[in-house]
């Protein structure tokens, strides 16, 4: 087929080129909207010394947490990491480095990275440990911290629907960090629930235009729920 | 008597105004949603990308792709919008959220807040708290007035690493409602049956008491 076909048929092909020491940006919030099969593929490949950028690091035995089991992650950039015992253990042992980053700043770092903005000023974190060692500036009477953008060798995201052009649509709050992560990878891989025929996605309803996406793979998702809350009725 | 968690939430709910966009933190702040006064409509913002958070789902409605910032399953209210984390924090950072309610370990008389890190204990991260306190127009902190050893949490200067500087405007504790301005805590209301003396004794920072202090009304 001539032209744009970003669909790959195997997880091996989806993550081909990932090497030790690379930076991987992952979409998802907790276990919601995570590229489960791509994470499993990284575990299978045994790639080491990775810097992983994601809001959280999964839980013990699921999500990015499985990459801790064989110590594949050297450094984690995240806003909240409290959900796994293994993470705590490796952090306290000094086997794992963590850069805690405010959630909005993390999203903006990815967005800026993908948009060619090298750094930005934000009031978030001024006067806190987050600002230590960073340039600050007063603008119109408020204090701001200069935060550098983030880009990744790979970005791995989960979407609901994709077409072979790499256009993506996310589902409900499984969107979260995925659109920004998708823009910030040199190679962005989207693991999706459904691949639709070209033209099926309404152009004005596409969340992530295909230009940001290099590979698309159809995945099967467990979609584990972290805190199942139910109301009677 | 000191207020229960529910009563603190009920008192905070009186700060809600019709048409407010509100972000509620984890713990007591979450309970505020149960006490929205009759006749007013507010939209709850959940920083993972949902404006217009509804109640928990029924068993039939549960959807793994529909969660709140506490990673709980949730529903979308009528009129809700769903968007990315960058969009979510644009509305927070840009000052579009009318009210943020969050918990804290310590607050000081300069409006500084410490809520995320206790040195020596494992640090789990700040999540969205730093963005919220830096961006909201109006921040209400809920916490107990003193810790379980009786040490005041309302200080002249925070001792723990900060979440944000000069951002807290109002505090609702189990004993009192206070406003933070001009480098002092100003006592506005006291919990039913709690004396000004007790509040004074449990407030380590500068406390301004002017005139008769009314009891909270529920």
Q: CB distance A128–B86 less than 8 Å? A: no
Q: CB distance A79–B72 less than 8 Å? A: no
Size of interface A-B (CB pairs under 8 A): 174
Report the gap between the CA of B168 and the closest CA in chain A (Å): 14
Q: Say what percent of chain B tops pLDDT 70.
A: 100
Alpha helices (runs of H) in A85-212, residue ranges in sequence order: 85-93, 103-115, 178-183
Please name the residue that has the structure tokens 């529910």: B6
Query: Phi, psi at residue A112, to the nearest 5°?
Result: -65, -40
CA distance A124 to A19: 34
What tokens appear for A42 in the block? 């990284």
A1 pLDDT higher than 70: no
pTM over 0.95: yes
CB A167 within 8 A of CB A5: no
pLDDT for the residue numbered A233:
67
Nearest to A176 among B55, B84, B130 (CB): B84
Show me where the domains of chain B are located: 5-208
Sign of CA dihedral B62, B66, B71, B74: negative
What tokens appear for A107 in the block? 């999203």
Q: CB distance A128–B135 less than 8 Å? A: no
Q: Is B59 a catalytic residue?
A: no
Q: State pLDDT tens for residues A79-109.
A: 999 788 999 889 888 999 999 999 999 999 9
What is the fold of B5-208?
Glutaconate Coenzyme A-transferase (3.40.1080)
Q: Say what percent of chain A tops pLDDT 90.
A: 94
Active-site residue, selected from the candidate residues B6, B15, B41, B47: B47
What tokens appear for A181 in the block? 């992560």
Average pLDDT over chain B reads: 96
pLDDT for the residue numbered B120:
82
Please name the residue that has the structure tokens 């077409």: A163
Q: Which of the 8 DSSP states describes residue B62? A: -
Q: Which residues on chain B are in Cβ contact (under 8 Å) with A80?
A: 124-127
Structural domains of chain A in order of their starting residue, each with its CATH number: 11-116+149-217 (3.40.1080.10)
Binning pLDDT at 50, 70 and 90, where does residue A2 land?
low
């Amino acid at each position: 087929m001539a032209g744009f076909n970003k669909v790959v048929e195997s997880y091996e092909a989806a993550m081909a080129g990932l090497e030790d020491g690379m930076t991987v940006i992952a979409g998802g919030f907790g276990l919601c909207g995570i590229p489960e099969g791509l994470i499993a593929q990284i575990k299978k490949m045994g790639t080491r010394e990775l810097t992983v950028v994601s809001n959280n690091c999964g839980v013990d035995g699921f999500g990015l947490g499985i990459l801790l089991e064989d110590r594949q992650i050297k450094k984690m950039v995240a806003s909240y990491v409290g959900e796994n015992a293994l993470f705590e253990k490796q952090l306290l042992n000094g086997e794992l480095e963590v850069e805690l980053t405010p959630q909005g700043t993390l999203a903006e770092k990815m967005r800026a990275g993908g948009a060619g903005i090298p750094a930005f000023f934000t009031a978030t974190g001024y006067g806190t440990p987050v600002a230590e060692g960073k340039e600050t500036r007063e603008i119109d009477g408020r204090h701001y911290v200069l935060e550098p953008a983030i880009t990744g060798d790979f970005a791995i995201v989960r979407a609901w629907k994709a077409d072979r052009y790499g256009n993506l649509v996310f589902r409900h709050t499984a969107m979260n960090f995925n659109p920004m992560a998708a823009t910030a990878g040199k190679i962005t891989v989207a693991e999706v629930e459904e691949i639709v025929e070209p033209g099926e996605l309404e152009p004005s309803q596409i969340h992530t235009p295909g230009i940001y996406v290099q590979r698309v793979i159809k995945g099967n998702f467990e979609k584990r729920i972290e805190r199942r809350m139910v109301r009677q009725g | 008597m000191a207020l229960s968690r529910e009563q603190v939430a009920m008192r905070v709910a009186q700060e809600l105004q019709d048409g407010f966009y509100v972000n509620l933190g984890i713990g007591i702040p979450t309970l505020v949603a149960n006490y929205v006064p009759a006749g007013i409509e507010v939209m709850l913002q959940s920083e993972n990308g949902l404006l217009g958070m509804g109640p928990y789902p029924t068993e039939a409605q549960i959807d793994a792709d529909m969660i709140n910032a506490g990673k709980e399953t949730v529903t979308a209210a009528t009129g809700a919008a769903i968007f990315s984390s960058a969009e979510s924090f644009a509305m927070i950072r840009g000052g579009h959220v009318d009210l943020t309610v969050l918990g804290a370990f310590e607050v000081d008389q300069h409006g500084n807040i410490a809520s995320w890190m206790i040195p020596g204990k494992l640090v789990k991260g700040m999540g969205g708290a730093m963005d919220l306190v830096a961006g909201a127009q109006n921040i209400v902190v809920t916490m107990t007035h003193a810790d379980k050893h009786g040490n005041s949490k309302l200080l002249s200067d925070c001792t723990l690493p900060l979440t944000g500087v000069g951002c807290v405007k109002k505090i609702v504790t189990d004993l009192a409602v206070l406003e933070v301005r001009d480098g002092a805590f100003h006592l506005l209301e006291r919990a039913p049956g709690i004396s000004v003396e007790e509040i004074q004794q449990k407030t380590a920072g500068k406390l301004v008491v002017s005139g008769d202090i009314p009891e909270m009304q529920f």
